[in-house]
Chains A and B, each alone.
Chain A
Amino acid sequence: PALGLFLFTIARDPLRIIILIAGAFFWLVSLLLSSLIWFIAVKASDPRDEPLQKGLLIFGVMFSVLLQEAFRFLYYKLLRKAIEGLVALSEDGCSPISIQQMAYVAGVGFGLMSGAFSMINLLADALGPGTVGIHGDSQLYFLTSAFMTMVLIFLHTFWGILFFHGCEHQRWWEITAVVVMHLAVSGSTFCNPLYVGSLVPSYLLMATAAVWAYLLSGGSAQNLRRFLLCK
């Protein structure tokens, strides 16, 4: 689905592609920094201590989430400056791309990168021989990973919209809501392999975020009805 989103909405406009790639880049940098922190923490600690390792991992995940959001903010700042530049350059005085479109594309960029990093090694291994869950792990590993990745990509997209909107209108509570949601989703994955604990809340949160983003972007129930009935 994320690929479909990309093809239909982003591939047409070159500016959006650039913003997408830049978004992916920012996510990557945040990942780099967070893994650096984690790596240092792991090296500095005792490798044989299991609970400590798990604790460090949790700490790493949380830290990474916070860093991702921080980078999303930085990216927002950069895009604001870019929009001013674009407005100055364009002929008719208005920007060729609105901040909401940018928010959307940035969200997709983040989402794609995070999804790619989560899934791609899995996919590569899935092409090879083997049986899933042979060692007593869940047999639904691939399936749940796929769903989780998809939900995460969508969530990043929606968070992008919400986050930028919050920054635009100086509504700090929106921003904190996004951060809290992200933390919640990551935290819920700690319940894996008890999949019910992680997938269900994530999907609920995604639905919430979707509705919220839709409303923020100016949609309403009427628009939806009109669209569905093809009027």
Chain B
Amino acid sequence: MITFMNNSDSEEEPCNERTSLMSAESPPVPSYQDGPQASEAGEAQAHRKRRTGSSRSPNNIADGEMSDSGVPVRESTSENEEEELTLKYGAKHVIMLFVPVTLCMIVVVATIKSVRFYTEKNGQLIYTPFSEDTPSVGQRLLNSVLNTIIMISVIVVMTVFLVLLYKYRCYKFIHGWLILSSLMLLFLFTYIYLGEVLKTYNVAMDYPTLFLIIWNFGAVGMICIHWKGPLQLQQAYLIMISALMALVFIKYLPEWSAWVILGAISIYDLMAVLCPKGPLRMLVETAQERNEPIFPALIYSSAMMWTVGMAKPDTAARGPSQQTWDAAEDGRENHRSPSHTDSQMSETRSPVPTRPITSFEELEEEERGVKLGLGDFIFYSVLVGKAAATASGDWNTTLACFVAILIGLCLTLLLLAVFKKALPALPISITFGLVFYFSTDNLVRPFMDTLASHQLYI
């Protein structure tokens, strides 16, 4: 469901972008808006998807790397052994998540630093209608808070919609939505991105070549994400679309709004996943009850599980969910095999990242890995990208935020191992990141600058 919602979001996104590109702050056409809004709500709901996959399959309790033993063996594993295995391979899983998050952030930072398009302000998305160009500080703050409220409510509505859709088994709808949003993300955003990169480096490329490249990239991406493909390629595609989405956010969110939104989203994530009535939690529980995997489209998995001999309902669910591919927004699920950790999907807007196919009842080649929602990727990258774009201390601040986010991820995974249920991945990391960003920018930078100018070393 979440993915479904994402589709609508992604549809809206292009509209928003186009309108915003055309006129700086003209309100979008109302009729146009209505459509997307509904879909967005759906997407938002989709986002909230929690990863119940692991919880669902009773067999996925052990965290071992290889689960070659059949289900019965796994079941017979004692609780303690499972825990030990969990923690023992914990470090490996953490690294498996570090690498993609790092790659995503590197891509975003590199683009921000080199391509000027993403730091120019060319208008705002319709989700943040209040401008920040106001003369007074109070007004600006008020505008950013209002923007945040609108954005968060959009996300909430979308997530609830997604959960409802999932509850009432409107799988086709969700899948269609996801496919559409992933289509849009893969083709349109890549086109824009490639265009800007080529412009920056002053490389000429004719349209046929461009068309060929984008077509290949997009087609392979669609296949890889929604269907089967080599794990690394799938991971690479997920990273790329997360980076694209993050870049879009960095470009179109006004400054103060971005920071307030990041803070608000992490609080929302916390509530949506942990509160008993939270939409994401309901999604996870529903998926668990039905013994179905959660939407694959919104989650990054560090290991692939091949479904071998899945039970019928699973395959049925998997098929459609494979097609739904919602980018970023939903995807945040932090998942450790035995536990369900769901992180909240981040944005309704971002196209849903696809979730690698995870089969829970997997038998033969299962490799359990940790799963992280794509929305988490996107928001982490947004934070680091914003730090790179707007901080005056440049690289120091970026580096500090990067380390802070990685440490937050570590802590979250540790908690995951301890609690063994779905956990939101955003709050800890984003809090650390924000704290470090603001403190490094304001406190450390003058200190380091003075030290460097005198060439003192501490």
Contacts and interface: CB of A to CB of B under 8 A. Distances in A.
B452 A114 contact: no
Interface in B408-458: 410, 436, 439-440, 442-444, 446-448, 450-452, 454-458
B84 A57 contact: no
A190 B395 contact: no
Interface string A145-188: 10011001000000000000000000000000000000001100
Contact of A121 (B403, B446, B452, B454): B452
Interface residues of A, number: 49
A5 to B, nearest CB: 18
Given A15-B91, A35-B444, A61 B439 contact: no
Contacts of B451: 57, 61, 118
A99 interface: no
Given A17-B95, A89-B84, A192 B452 contact: no
A91 B85 CA distance: 9
Contact of A141 (B399, B450, B455, B458): B455
Given A14-B92, A39-B443, A57-B456, A117 B448 contact: yes
Given A117-B448, A120-B395, A121-B394, A25 B443 contact: no
B396 A121 contact: yes
A34 B456 contact: no
B440 A32 contact: yes
Contacts, number: 111
Contact of A192 (B88, B94, B403, B455): B455
B396 A117 contact: yes
Contacts of B452: 118, 121-122
A60 interface: yes
Contacts of A118: 448, 451-452, 457
Contact of B458 (A65, A85, A121): A65
Interface of A is mostly: helix
Contacts of B393: 121
A28 interface: yes
Contact of A32 (B94, B399, B444): B444
Interface of B: 84, 87-88, 91-92, 94-95, 98, 393-396, 399-400, 403-404, 406-407, 410, 436, 439-440, 442-444, 446-448, 450-452, 454-458
Given A14-B91, A32-B439, 6 more contacts: A14-B94, A21-B406, A35-B446, A65-B458, A90-B88, A121-B396
